[in-house]
């Protein structure tokens, strides 16, 4: 499968309680802190190959700062920039983000800030974290219930069809599944550029708002242990939003919770 976007790289979030957010991802989900800069903390799971997949920055209100995608090649990056610019949703080139090279920034039709790049820094584990497995950048941590890698993002949109067309026609995503509501209205789309069922889900926002963020998902890899994880989180006053059952769409086992 040939697509100009290769994969999801990272998600940057705002948090009004950054210490609590970082503690949740570090202590509960076993993620490592790879860098600190200003009011931002950069983190990764133990099977994430890049320098970070999650950025948490202190802010007055919680929300999405940016979603980052990697292009399939330098040539694909240039092609994507041309298509996005022609769509009227591009915001220009940038080169000043930590561990990320030259990137083209843009917004979804609903205003979700995103960027696409080619050059970026790979994580280089120190000796005490280095794994013997070539397919694993670092050892499985003996802390929390360690997630393995970033999996997908879920974005709330005012118009699922419009935002789906942008992802497929401009960015080159493949539509994998859709959910049709009463009267035939499309209320959800699941899209990917890889063998995964989705790297991004678009869900209709019933409030009519634009540009809201629902969640970032990390893959744990052992669904039979989700009940144990739920017990561990609830015992530590981590609020569980839903789960752990199985989605009808995508057939994924899941557990939704809040970071603080």
Tens of pLDDT along the chain (260 residues)?
568 999 999 999 999 999 999 999 999 999 999 999 999 999 999 999 999 999 999 999 999 999 999 999 999 999 999 999 999 999 999 998 999 999 999 999 999 999 999 999 999 999 999 999 989 999 999 998 899 999 999 999 999 999 999 999 999 999 999 999 988 999 999 999 998 889 999 999 999 899 999 999 999 977 777 888 888 888 989 888 776 766 666 667 878 889 97
Quote the distance between the C-alpha of residue 189 and its chain's center: 16
Which contiguous run of DSSP H or E holds residue 18? helix 18-23
What is the pTM for the complete model shown? 0.94
Domains and CATH numbers, the chain: 5-123+146-257 (3.10.180.10)
Confidence (pLDDT) at 199: 97
Q: Is 199 helix (H, G, I), strand (E, B) or coil?
A: coil
pLDDT score at 96: 86
CA distances, 246 to each of 129, 216, 224, 250, 254 (Å): 33, 17, 11, 9, 6
Residue partners of 253: CB distance under 8 A and separation at least 6: 223, 226, 244, 245, 246, 247
């Amino acid at each position: 499968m040939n697509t100009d976007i290769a994969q999801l790289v990272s998600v940057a979030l705002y948090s009004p309680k950054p210490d609590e957010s970082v503690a949740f991802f570090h202590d509960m989900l076993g993620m490592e802190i790879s860098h600190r800069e200003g009011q931002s903390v950069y983190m990764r799971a133990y099977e994430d190959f890049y320098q970070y997949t999650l950025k948490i920055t202190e802010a007055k209100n919680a929300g999405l700062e940016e979603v980052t995608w990697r292009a399939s090649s330098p040539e694909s990056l240039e092609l994507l920039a041309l298509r996005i610019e022609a769509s009227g949703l591009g915001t220009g080139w940038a080169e000043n983000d930590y561990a990320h090279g030259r990137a083209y920034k843009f917004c979804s039709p609903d205003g979700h800030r995103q960027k696409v790049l080619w050059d970026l820094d790979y994580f280089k584990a120190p000796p005490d974290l280095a794994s013997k497995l070539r397919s694993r950048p670092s050892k499985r941590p003996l802390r929390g219930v360690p997630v393995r890698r970033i999996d997908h993002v879920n974005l709330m949109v005012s118009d699922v069809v419009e935002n789906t067309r942008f992802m497929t026609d401009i960015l080159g995503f493949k539509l994998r599944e859709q959910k049709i509501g009463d009267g035939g209205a499309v209320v959800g789309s699941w899209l990917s550029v890889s063998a995964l069922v989705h790297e991004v889900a678009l869900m209709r926002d019933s409030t009519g708002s634009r540009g809201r963020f629902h969640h970032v998902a990390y893959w744990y890899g052992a669904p039979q242990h989700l009940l144990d994880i739920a017990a561990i989180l609830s015992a530590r006053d981590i609020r569980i939003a839903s789960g752990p059952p199985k989605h009808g769409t995508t057939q994924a086992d899941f557990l939704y919770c809040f970071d603080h």
